[in-house]
Amino acid sequence: MPHTILVVDQNQEMRGKVRSLLESAGWHVVGEAGDGQDAIEKAQRLGPDLIILDLSLPIKNGLEISAEILTNLPRTKILIFTIHEAEEIRREALRAGVHGYALKSSSSTELIKQVKSLLDGKE
């Protein structure tokens, strides 16, 4: 069974680009969300293997969402996908339990590599 992914970003265009990239690599994107509450509801309903999650979201931010999802869906991996390059923010996210941290400025190849690593069980 193919791995399932939920893409969460407040920017619809960015969600579409990430979805297209992931699907072209052979993964199944089961949904998209544009705010924190929608992300939590869809994660609960869809139970994805991986959530690609922006930190800056309306309603609840990425770290708040991560904590809630990891409590309720401990097998779901979370990859933060953000513009925030500050090392302290990255460390805070990893301390919160997320499985990976990728910058939106990274190449498509780098994002694919990180997603593959997480889905293959490597962190």
Q: Name residue 54's amino acid.
A: D
**Whole-number pLDDT of residue 122:** 67
For the stretch 8-33, pLDDT in tens is 999 999 999 999 999 999 999 999 99
Q: Tell me the CB-side half-sphere exposure of residue 54, using CA atoms within 13 A.
A: 22
Domain residue limits, the chain: 4-10+20-52+66-119
pLDDT-flagged residues of the chain (< 70): 1, 122-123
Residue 121 pLDDT: 84
Residue 52 pLDDT = 97
Predicted pLDDT of residue 123: 57
> Which CATH superfamily is 4-10+20-52+66-119 part of?
Response regulator (3.40.50.2300)
Cα-to-chain-centroid distance, residue 32: 10
**pLDDT the model gives residue 23:** 96
- Contacts of residue 5, Cβ cutoff 8 Å, sequence gap at least 6: 22, 27, 28, 29, 30, 48, 49, 50, 51, 52, 115
